[in-house]
Structure 1
Amino acid sequence: MRAAEILERLVGFPTVVGTPNMGLMDYVAHYLAEHGARVTRLMGPEGDRENLFATIGDPSRPGYILSGHVDVVPAQEPEWLGDPFVLRRDGDRLIGRGACDMKGFDAAVLAAVPELAAMPLKAPVHIALSYDEEAGCRGVPHLLARLPELCAAPLGCIVGEPTGLVPVLAHKGKAALRLVASGVSGHSSRPDLGRNAIHALAPALAATVALADALKSGAQDARFAPSWSTVQIGTVAGGQALNIIPDRAEACIEARAIHGVDPRGLLAPLMDLPGVEVEWLSSYPALALGADHPLATLAADISGHGPLQAVSYGTEAGLFQQAGVPAIVCGPGDIARAHKPEEYLTGAELAAATGMVLALGRRLC
């Protein structure tokens, strides 16, 4: 089956982050099993979504992981010109939610499976598909916890986020939390008889803004743009009506950390603020792979592109590295198209990604 046809099937499953993905995983597992892959489905603790791990070749030998996520961000923008979960073609563009981020890479890997299965591989190729990456890489830690029972220690992992097939050696880490303030509701004419939750949250918001400003003059790493670690308030919610004292208010805050800085540690000043409860939402570490690492050389050879030092967004690669698996980011498409209406991948980009996967297979024969 051609990669574009597989991408059409994958896009057709509306696997929005935080929702079930069983239909898509049923399709992928059946497809892989048809071609002789060893398939393990790993249900997450949520009970309605899962990771998948498959191996082509001998799992007792060290090999390489091709990693992608199957969840996508919501597609509710009015600028979509068609159903975002029905792949649409416009010239060479393949348009649909997730086409670029990152079902395109998933489709390219799956399209290469029949040829990989026919190769005399001396080292295996593993396929790792995870859920809820868009919520802070929540799914893949459950897969990584099972990795020792699934295969020999891997030689490396290629995470196929959109990089234009340019291998990326480093990215920032991330942590996210929710701050919640509680109050006592009442009529706004008698604020003395209630407690305003938004007012209670305001010092925490001010502390976050001050922290974000202070980080600009903190540790720097010129590989990143911006070159410092960052903190931002992403959402704020609270209150029911103007004349009601709000009894609850919350803010979601994220930190993005340069290599060598703990993203959770960046948010430590917000942990003990009075009147505010803290809930951790997610975290993952930064990635840093040396330019002279064998995986960097391999990725450059099979992609046809020299490595890029760093990007400021984050991926599951940092978690693979933390688990002892060398990792690099390299996939088709442009991150600037992700999370936008009319998201697309070109047919040429999809074909090039399939070619990269097959080049990996030939290197392992």
Structure 2
Amino acid sequence: MQTTEILERLIAFPSVVGTPNGAIVGWVRDYLESHGARVHVLDGPEGDRANLFATIGPADVPGYVLSGHTDVVPAGEPEWTSDPFRLRAEGSRLFGRGTSDMKGFLAAVLAAVPEIAAAPLARPIHFAFSYDEEAGCRGVPHMLAKLPELCAAPAGTIIGEPSNMRAILAHKGKAAARVTIGGRSGHSSRPDLGLNAVHAMASILMAAVEEAERLTQGPFDAAFEPSYSSLQVGTISGGQAVNIIPDRCVAELEARAIAGVDPTALLAPVKTAANALSSRGFAVDWIETSSYPALSLAADAPLAALLTELTATPPLAAVSYGTEAGLFQAAGIDAIICGPGDIGRAHKPDEFILIEELQSCRAMIGALAARCRA
């Protein structure tokens, strides 16, 4: 099958983050097995989602992992000019949800499978397709935990997030949390008889603002934009009507950390402010919704040299968005980002990828396969 044909099949699966992905995983499993790959479908604890890990070549020697996620963000924006789950071609552009992020990479990988399988490999090529990446990389940790049972420690992982086919050495880490404050409702004319959860949230918001300002003072890493870690409150909701004391308020916040900084630790001052409300009679519920570490691959690492050779372009130092690469590195596996498409087109109506970008990715994978042959 050609890359575009495979991409058309993949886009047709509405594998939105947080929903069952059995259909797309089943199709990929059948395709890989038809070309002789050894495939493992690894069910997640949710019960309706799974990671997929497959191998071509000898699994008992170090090889390379081609890694991507099967999930996409929702496509409910009214600005779409065609069905987001039906691939549409317009010149060299291919439109559809997930074309850039990141089913284009998956399609290029799968299109290369017949070539990879055609000649004996001295070193294996693995395929690691995860779920719920768009919800904070929730699926891949379960796959990484199983990896020692499935293969020898890999020599490196290529994370195919959209990077215009330029390798990327580093990205920021992230931690996100949801805090819920429970108060006591009543008529707004008697605030002395209630506990205003929205007012109480103000101290948490102030702590977040103060911490965000403090982070602008460093530490710094010039590879990133901005060069410092950051924190923000992204959503807040609470209350029913202006004349009712609100008994519930919910806020979601995130921290993004430069390499060497624990993103979860950046949320600690805000969590402390939230917990302090308990002594005033408020119920406090703090839930960490996602967390993944930063990626920091040395510029002189063998994997960086390999990608420079495969792409004929020196790597980019860093990006500020996050990927699963940091989790692979935390598991002891060198990781680098390199994939077709542009992150600027992702998560938008009329998301698209260029045919030449898919061709470039397909050529890179073919070159990697040639390096792994016996």
Query: Structure 2-normalised TM-score?
Result: 0.96
Q: Does 1:120 align with 2:128?
A: no
- Check the 8 A contact 1:86/1:96 in 2, yes or no: yes
Q: CA deviation at 1:243?
A: 2.5
Q: Which residue of 2 aligns with 1:264?
A: 264
Partner of 1:250: 250
Q: Is the 8 A contact 1:119 1:361 kept in 2?
A: no
Residue 351 of structure 1: CA displacement?
A: 1.2
Distance 2:270 2:53 in 1: 38
Q: Does 1:101 align with 2:101?
A: yes
Counterpart AA for 2:243: N
1:312 aligns with 2:320: yes
Residue 305 of structure 1 and its aligned partner are, at CA, apart by 1.6
Distance, in Å, in 1 between the alignment partners of 2:245 and 2:68 is: 46
Cα distance, 1:188 vs structure 2: 2.4
| Cα distance in 2 for residues equivalent to 1:72 and 1:239 | 32
Paired residue secondary structure (1:154): coil
For 1:278, the aligned partner's letter is: W
Task: Give, in angstroms, the shift of residue 323 of structure 1.
Answer: 0.2
Partner residue, 2:87:
87
AA aligned opposite 2:361: A
Distance 2:336 2:205 in 1: 35
Residue 356 (structure 2) pairs with residue 348 (structure 1): yes
Bigger shift: residues 109-118 or 184-193: 184-193
Residues 333-356 of structure 1, C-alpha deviations (whole Å, 9 max, x = no match): 111111111110011111111111
Tell me the secondary structure at the aligned position of residue 217 of structure 1.
coil
- Using the TM superposition, give the Cα deviation of residue 197 of structure 1 relative to its aligned residue in structure 2, in angstroms: 1.1
Quote the Cα distance in structure 1 between the aligned partners of 2:348 and 2:334.
Answer: 31
* Cα distance, 1:234 vs structure 2: 1.0
Structure-2 residue corresponding to 1:232: 232
CA distance in 2, matches of 1:88, 1:188: 54
Q: Matched residue of 2:41: which SS?
A: strand
1:299 paired residue among 304, 307, 330: 307
With 271-280 and 198-207 compared, the bigger mean Cα shift is at 271-280
- CA distance in 2: counterparts of 1:303 and 1:54, whole angstroms: 24
Kindly state the Cα deviation for residue 186 of structure 1 after the two structures are TM-superposed: 2.2
Alignment of 1:1-365 (within 5 A): 1-273=1-273, 274-275=276-277, 276-365=284-373
Code of the residue aligned with 1:256 in structure 2: it is R
Equivalenced residues, count? 365
Partner Cα distance (1:349, 1:141) in 2: 29
Structure 1 window deviating more from structure 2 (272-281 vs 153-162): it is 272-281
Deviations 1:251-308 (A, max 9, x none): 1110000011111111111222222331111111111111111100111111222111
Give, as a single letter, the amino acid of the residue that structure 2 aligns with 1:300: T
Contact 1:119 1:362 in 2 (8 A): no
Q: CA deviation at 1:106?
A: 0.6
The gaps in structure 2 that reach 5 residues or longer are: 278-283
Q: Give the SS at the match of 2:100.
A: coil
Once residues 355 and 72 of structure 1 are traced to their aligned partners in structure 2, the CA distance between those partners, rounded to angstroms, is 25
The alpha carbon displacement at 1:141 in A equals: 0.2
In structure 1, runs of 5+ residues without a counterpart are none
* SS of residue matched to 1:4: helix
SS in 2 for 1:85: coil
Q: Give the deviation of 1:185 after TM superposition.
A: 1.9
CA distance in 2, matches of 1:243, 1:87: 50
Deviation per CA, 1:3-36: give whole Å up to 9, x if none.
1111111111111111111110010001001010
Q: What secondary structure is seen at the aligned counterpart in 2 of 1:158?
A: strand
Q: 2 CA distance for matches of 1:245 and 1:150?
A: 56
Return the alpha-carbon distance in structure 2 between the equivalents of residues 241 and 349 of structure 1.
51
